[in-house]
Copies of this chain bind each other. A is one copy, B any other.
Amino acid sequence: MKTSLLAAALAVVVMSGEALAQAKPEQLVKQRQAVMTLQGKYFGPMAGMAQGRIPYDAKIVQRNAGFLDNLSRMPWDGFAESTKDVKSAALPAIWTDSAKWAEAADHLQTEASKLYAVSRSGDEAAVKAQIGAVGKACGGCHESFRQKQ
């Protein structure tokens, strides 16, 4: 468990003491799904560029990577245990295997943060490789913790 994960866990505790105390489970699910929608919006074009389906544009990658870095830190408090019974694609393993889940969540944040850093370097090959690493981090979490779609 890395420091950033611990920090994130503490942040959730801090938040849950106040602002989150009144958030309804349905609202939490709506919010975390909103994050997933936007992660898709900004990751999609980068994946297309890494795969050569879309012309590479360093400026768009930088912008999208900055947004994704932020977004990757947003969904986790939306997976509160109170949301277990709300209909969604989230699998029970999120709450039964919470250590592995937290590690997967932390992994995405780490890779997204690296992508933002490398997107500012101008090294296109490195950026494309890191886009791949982010994609793997998305997939790694979805594989174990999201219903097959």
Listed in ascending order, the chain A residues whose CB lies under 8 Å from chain B are 11, 14-15, 18-19, 30-31, 33-35, 37-38, 41, 44-45, 48, 54-55, 57, 59-60, 63, 66-67, 70-71, 73-74
Contact = CB atoms under 8 A, between A and B. Distances in A.
State the main secondary structure of chain A at its contact with B.
Answer: helix
Enumerate the 6 nearest inter-chain pairs by beta-carbon distance, A residue then B residue, closest first: A19-B45, A34-B34, A34-B37, A70-B70, A31-B41, A34-B38
A54 B14 CA distance: 13
Contact of A70 (B30, B31, B66): B66
How many copies of this chain does one complex carry? 2
A142 to B, nearest CB: 18
Nearest to A67: B70
Contacts of A48: 19
B74 A19 contact: no
A11 B61 CA distance: 12
